[in-house]
Amino acid sequence: MADTIISLVVERTGDLLIQKIVFLKDVRGQVERLQNYLVRMRCFLKDADQRQDEDARIRNWVSEIRAAAYDAEDIIEIFASKIESIKDKGFVTRLAYYPWRMVSLNKIGKEIESLQTRLDDIAASREKFGIKNLGEGTSTHGEELQRLRRSSPLSEDKDIVGFEKITKSLVAELLKADRNRRVVSIIGMGGAGKTTLAKKVYNHADVRERFNCRAWVCVSSSYDYKKMLRAIIKQLNPITNELLDMLEKMEEEDLERRLYQDLQDKCYLVVLDDVWEEAAWDCLARRAFPDVGTSSRVLLTSRNRDVAQHADAYRHPYELKTLGQEDSWHLFLKKALGDGANAGCPPDLEEVGREIARRCGGLPLAITVIGGLLLGKNKSKTVWEEVLNNFSAHLSRSRSEAGAILELSYADLPANLKFCFLYLGLFPEDSVISVRKLIHMWVAEGIMQKRDAVNLEEAAAYDDVERLCSRNMVQVAEMTVDERIKSCRVHDLLRDLAIRKAEDEIFFQIHDTRDDQISAKSRYLAVHSLPLDKNYLGSSTPPLRSLLFFNVREVSLGFRSFRKLRILDLEDVKMGYNLPKEIDKVRLLRYLGLRDTYIGKLPHSVGCLRYLQTLDMRRRYANWKVKVPNFIWKLESLRHLYAKGMECDVPLKIEGLRNLQTLSGIRFDDIMHNDMTTLTSLQKLGIWVDEWSEIDELCMHLSEVGSLKKLHLFADAIRLQPILAGLSNLHRVTELKLSGRGLFMLPPDFPPNLSRLSLSSTWLEDDPMQH
């Protein structure tokens, strides 16, 4: 994690030196020295990151480096933004600011000097924390997790619940009359029961009868290829001292050749349990597993969908979902009550027992661990309530297999995906998270790696969502019709893991009771469900970068205390007052979420937010309006503007916003008063039209917008049909959405390159697609 933060900060400070060279020229040398120092610090961080879980001192050391890196970026960005803020002022004003500029230069020089001293002290403490001697005769936390994870087909769980149907399907798949070698894959999140299911199939009577040669090997995330080959060979041959000596002396190629010969004339079944990397499959499939028409099979389990699809692109993997409520309850009873499960649950324990089962989130391994814990305890309501109240602690104990399996999933993530995963922990339990919103936040935070072309950070962020879903760290909640992820959720136990890791690393904090104290070191703060009578953030002024509110009715903010904010999300906060004009003090703000707030007017000072990328002012109801002065054109970094409910006394000026990609909820008149060809990055456009809107003129007006791909026309309570013409002029539009009760039939023409048409909330009486 810290390695990622340092890498991002080094990259961004380099970008700042290039982009803000005019404003940083007098401190360029100091900034470059600071950047080079961070590069050298980064050399020690990879090993330190791996050791954080075993040593709190190392965790604190890494935390100090990360905090210093953040402070370095803040110092440079805030200074550059202050100097840049006067670039458009007149000569006399700039001259008047000259003494202030000298004072600011002296101040940033002292701040950088202080930060250098701080980094020197951190570096000097490295040997004290044992960072220098990593890996010398010590067992890493990751290796301990791997030992807990190792599987064998011998100890089959007889209490398996809810797998009857999928077991039958898997057995049938393995027994199909196909002479080619086939790969059958089981995927699912850690603890979903993949290994348990594979054991059941492996030991099935029909499978044992069909395959005269069977072997099982647990691959894991840090596999030893030669050990893997030896393990399979040992299962295929009588164990003798001669065989063992020979295998130990064999090189990799010899082992591959021996395994290939052992399997060549056999109808074999090999289970590769817990495969994490495509490379692990490639090694075995290409050189050691013959495909010679013997109807052989490989059964593969993985948390990663990409691995399964790589192993056999022609077959969809079998995906294990979490157990339903009743299956979870039945498995819990078997594990927690043992033989007594047949007699049912004692009435006084049922309510708390069902809540414990629910907290396991349908994850069989979690149910098994918690049930096993309760089996050895007194069957009293007090004892079961104690387990429920300390649920996360019981499940995440270092020697718990459930905790190990979940931690392995996190430990295997690339560093940038660890950041993304931890960020998801800020959202409340059971949240359905908009992927679009998540992408805007990640891009605003600056955690996406720089791409060669412009405006590709959003694409990189979506790729990271897909990667987390593919690894079963995040669950898909809703898909679009073109099979893109629209919303997602995080399993409760994985969210608990994210919170625990984030708190260990002082990464973020969740504030959900009046007694919570906000850490002075918090960079990311989520405020959840504060009581109505006391919505406050306390007197602490942490160096926050993200401040998110959920289920909070009202809050009072002093923006002078949050000058380092990049993200402020007030969605659904029913603020009883307008946004304070001091918002301009938050110079680095990149994401401002005001969706469904009671804010009735934005101050002119929002126009000073030069770095703002996303401004979301959408309103759920038509009568909820927000008045906006004519400042949008000043937001030169703006990428996404959601303007439904926005009102402006004069035609809104938006031309010249070269970074704008999304413009949604804008009025017809505002569009027609702007030269839309100046919006050179605009891809998505949503317009409110009425019965006076000349759609054909609109289409001609938009026909030269070269980047426009998606158009959405909103119309409510009007008959659009006589005027909905001219769409054929939009040659570049590939997606069209028509919404509102004003649509009674399809328009007379369409964009010639249209590939997707969406109709919603219309008054079409006949199905137009039948024709």
Does the pLDDT of residue 2 top 80, yes or no? no
Domain boundaries, the chain: 2-124, 144-319, 325-398, 413-494, 651-771
* Residue 214, strand partner residues: 269
Amino acid of residue 414: P
- Residue 732, amino acid: R
Listed residue (621, 611, 613) closest to 644, CA to CA: 621
Least confident of 14-18, 121-125, 163-167, 527-531: 14-18
| pLDDT of 203 higher than 60 | yes
pLDDT confidence of residue 47: 60
- Please state the rounded mean pLDDT for residues 457-467: 90
Calculate ∠ Cα 470-471-476, nearest 5°: 50
Sign of the dihedral defined by the CA atoms of residues 458, 461, 466, 469, in that order = negative
Task: Give whole-number Cα distances, 433 to 428, 475, 488, 529, in Å.
Answer: 10, 10, 5, 17
Task: Give φ, ψ of 690 to 5 degrees.
Answer: -135, -170
Determine which of 94-108, 176-190, 500-514, 732-746 has the lowest per-residue pLDDT on average: 94-108
Lowest-pLDDT choice from 82-91, 171-180, 384-393, 501-510: 82-91
Radius of gyration, CA atoms only, the chain = 30
The mean pLDDT value for 329-334 works out to 88
What kind of architecture, by CATH, is found in domain 413-494?
A: Orthogonal Bundle (1.10)
Bridge pairing between strands 508-511 and 710-714: unpaired
pLDDT at 137: 39
- Are 497 and 513 a contacting pair, CB within 8 Å? no
- The lowest-confidence range among 23-37, 82-96, 443-457, 481-495 is 82-96
Overall average pLDDT of the 569-596 stretch: 87
In angstroms, the CA 635 to CA 617 distance is 15
Contact 602, 625 (CB under 8 A): no
Q: What is the pLDDT of residue 310?
A: 92
pLDDT at residue 375, rounded to an integer: 82
In this model, does residue 689 exceed pLDDT 90? no
Average model confidence (pLDDT) for the chain?
A: 81
Structure tokens at 767: 């199905």
> Comparing 674 with 137, which gets the higher pLDDT?
674
| Calpha distance 535→552 (Å, rounded) | 8
pLDDT digits (tens, 9 = 90+) for 37-82: 777 776 666 666 656 555 667 777 777 777 887 887 787 777 777 6
Pick the range with the lowest mean pLDDT from 228-242, 411-425, 459-473.
411-425
The mean pLDDT of 682-708, rounded to a whole number, is 89
Q: Report which of residues 619 and 33 the model is more confident about.
A: 619
Q: Is the pLDDT of residue 632 over 70?
A: yes
Quote the pLDDT of residue 406: 79
| Eight-state DSSP code of residue 317 | P
**Is the pLDDT assigned to residue 419 strictly greater than 90?**
no
- The reported pLDDT for the residue numbered 69 is 78
Predicted confidence band of residue 20 (pLDDT cuts 50, 70, 90): low
pLDDT digits (tens, 9 = 90+) for 513-547: 655 666 777 788 898 876 554 545 555 567 888 99
Over pLDDT 90: what percentage of the chain? 31
Q: According to the model, what pLDDT value does residue 208 have?
A: 93
**pLDDT mean over 9-19:** 62
Who has greater pLDDT, 453 or 83? 83
- Does residue 628 contact residue 648 with C-beta atoms inside 8 Å? yes
Strand order in the sheet with 213-220: 213-220, 268-275, 297-302, 182-187, 318-319
Report which secondary-structure segment, H or E, holds 502: helix 492-504
d(CA 655, CA 299): 58
* Structure tokens, 122: 């951190």
| Beta-bridge mates of residue 568 | 547, 592
For tokens 């935070």, name the residue: 445
Between these two residues, 98 and 227, which has the higher pLDDT value?
227
pLDDT digits (tens, 9 = 90+) for 190-200: 888 899 899 99
Which is higher by pLDDT, 520 or 291? 291
How many helices (H) does the chain have, and how many strands (E)? Answer: 28, 22
CA dist 608 and 636 (Å) reads 10
Query: Tokens 């469904």 belong to which residue?
Result: 596
Which stretch, 90-104, 543-557, 591-605, 733-747, has highest mean pLDDT? 591-605
Average of per-residue pLDDT across 322-336: 88
Which CATH superfamily includes the segment(s) 144-319? P-loop containing nucleotide triphosphate hydrolases (3.40.50.300)
Is residue 278 pLDDT above 80, yes or no?
Answer: yes
pLDDT at res. 234: 92
DSSP 597: -
What percent of the chain has pLDDT above 70?
79
For 539, the token pair is 């007197």
Nearest of 279, 366, 373, 271 to residue 323 by alpha carbon: 366
Q: Smallest Cα–Cα separation from 9: which of 28, 27, 34? A: 34
pLDDT for the residue numbered 138: 44
Cross-strand pairs, 663: 641, 685
134-163 pLDDT, tens digit per residue, is 444 344 555 555 555 566 676 666 667 778
Alpha carbon 457 to chain centroid, angstroms: 14
CB atoms under 10 Å from CB of 677, counted, come to 15
Amino acid 392: pLDDT? 73
pLDDT at 388: 85
Q: What is the pTM of this model?
A: 0.81
Which run of H or E residues covers position 700? Answer: helix 695-702
Q: In this structure, what is the dihedral angle of CA atoms 687, 688, 693, 698, given to the nearest 10 degrees?
A: 0
Kindly state the average pLDDT of the residues 418-425: 90
- Which ranges of 85-219 does DSSP label H, i.e. alpha helix? 91-96, 98-124, 141-149, 164-174, 194-202, 205-210
pLDDT value, residue 139 = 46
How many other CB atoms are there within 10 angstroms of residue 212's CB atom?
11
The residues, any chain, with a CB within 8 Å of residue 762's CB and separated by 6 or more, are 738, 739, 740, 741, 743, 744
Phi-psi region of 337 (alpha: psi -120 to 50; beta: other; left: phi over 0): alpha
Q: What is the pLDDT of residue 722?
A: 47
Above 80 in pLDDT, residue 273? yes
